[in-house]
Amino acid sequence: MLNGGLIEGQEVCGAPVQGLLTCLPSVQPPNPTPPTPDCCAAIKKGDENCLCAYKDSPQLPKYGIDKALFLALPTKCGLPPCPP
């Protein structure tokens, strides 16, 4: 079991959860870190529109995820920004 009851090997929008978990330090204030190669690789494996749809999820604050940092992550990984 991993954070929030997620099972190892599980995917969200086609992106491996284990890889997405490496993104947490990049989307949590007060001192976010640049995304790691593992984080960016996980995001690139996932469906961008599906992942971006989480921008309004009530789950983000439960994990301490800042919406603005979340929305900046694709660009920091060399992907197009989430649509508005």
What does the DSSP 8-state code read for residue 57? -
pLDDT given at position 2: 44
Model pLDDT for residues 56-79, shown as the tens digit of each residue: 999 899 989 999 999 999 999 999
Cα–Cα distance for residue pair 37/70, rounded to 1 Å = 16
* pLDDT: which is higher, 7 or 72: 72
CB pairs under 8 A, 24+ apart, for 54-63? 55/82, 62/4, 63/3, 63/4, 63/24, 63/28
Q: Quick check: pTM over 0.85?
A: no
Model pLDDT for residues 8-29, shown as the tens digit of each residue: 678 999 999 899 999 999 999 9
